[in-house]
Structure 1
C-alpha cells in the first residue's frame, strides 16, 4: 500500500468520523452518542464535502470551514481542514490545526497519527513513536498508526520483532491482506 493509499485509509476513517473520532472496531458509546446528535442534513452535507477533497480541494476547504463554523463542537470538519493543510505541504499550519483538534478531542487518532508522520519526516523518531503510540492507546485498531509505527520501528529504528508484531496486527484487521505488508512480514520472519 503506497503512502497515498495509506493517507486515503486515514482520510476514509476521518470521513466516517463526523464527530471527529475515527470509527471502526472499538468505537465507544460516547463517540456513537456524538454522531447521533448530528442532523441527517448536516451529515449528508459533510459527506458530500469530504468527497470533494480529492476532486476540488479549494471548494472542499471553503465548505469544511462553513461546516466547522456551523458546528464547532464537531471536530470532523476541522480534522479534514488539517488534512488539507497536510496534503498542501503546509506542515506548520497542519501542526497548529491538529493541535486544535487535540485540544477538543485529545485522543483523536487521526490527528495523533498525522503528527507522528510529520515528526518522522522531521527526523524526530522518538517523538513520532510517541504520537503513534498515543493514537494506538486511543484506538488499538487504528490502521494507519499500526502500519506507520511498524514502518518506524522496522526501517528507522531496527526494532524488527516489534515491527513484525505491528505488521501482523495490521494485516489481521484488514478485510484482505495488504500484499506489500505481506512481503514485509515474510522478509522480517526470514531475517529473524
Structure 2
C-alpha cells in the first residue's frame, strides 16, 4: 500500500472519543460532518428506551472520564454495568465496544456492536464501527454491507460515506463506488481538501470525467 493509500486509512478522527460523543448525544438523528468530541448533557438513546436516571447519567460521565484517562479496564467494567442496567439502550454497549477496541479485543467489540444494533437497528455509530472492525479483519464484503445498511438509514452520515469510499478504493478496487462516496462525503465536508485530491486521482486513473 502506498503512502498516499495509508493516509486514507488514517484520516478518520480519533475513533473512540468521536463515537463516544456521538453515542452519548443519542443516535435517533443522522450525524453530519464530524465535530470535536465533548461530554454530553444527556444519554437518552432511542425514544423507546427507558429514561436514564441522574445517577446513570453520572455513571456514564464517570465512565467517559475513565476512557479519557486511558483506564480502559475500569471503563469496560463501568460500561458493562451500565449495559446490564440499561438493556434497551444502545449507548452502553457501543461505548463498551469502543473500549474493547482500545484493548485490542475485536471479538468482544464486535459482540457489543451487534448487541447495540439488535437494540436499535441502523444505529449509525454502531454500524460504522462494526464496518471498521470488519475492514480491519479483512472481511471486506461484510464491511461494505454494514456501511450500506447504515447509509440506508442515515444517508447524510458523512463519515460512513468517507469510510465506504476508502473501502471501495483501497480494498475492493471498485472505483466508481469510491468516487461516489467520496463525493457524498465532500458535500458535507467542503473544507476537507484532501478528499478532493483523492477524487481527482481516482477520476484520472479510472478514466472518469469530473463533475460538470
- TM-score bracket, shorter-length normalisation: 0.7 to 0.9
Q: Residues 35 and 185 of structure 1: is their aligned pair in 2 closer, same or farther, counting only changes over 3 Å? A: farther
Please give the root-mean-square deviation of Cα atoms over the aligned residues, in Å.
3.1
Q: Matched residue of 1:17: which SS?
A: helix
Q: Residues 111 and 33 of structure 1: is their aligned pair in 2 closer, same or farther, counting only changes over 3 Å? A: closer
Identify unmatched segments of 5+ residues in structure 2.
1-6, 33-43
Would you say 1:37 and 2:43 are equivalent positions? no
* 2:183 corresponds to: 168
Larger of the two Rg values belongs to structure: 2
Distance (whole Å) between structure 1 residues aligned to residue 81 and residue 164 of structure 2: 34
* 2:83 corresponds to: 68
Identify unmatched segments of 5+ residues in structure 1.
none
Q: How many residues align?
A: 188
Q: Matched residue of 1:33: which SS?
A: coil
Match of 1:105 among 95, 120, 136: 120
Q: Give 1 or 2: higher helix fraction.
A: 1
* 1:127 corresponds to: 142
Match of 1:16 among 15, 22, 29: 22
Q: Deviations over 1:12-60 (max 9, x none)?
A: 244233386364458xxx9673589334554354244324323232332
Q: Residues 184 and 58 of structure 1: is their aligned pair in 2 closer, same or farther, counting only changes over 3 Å? A: same
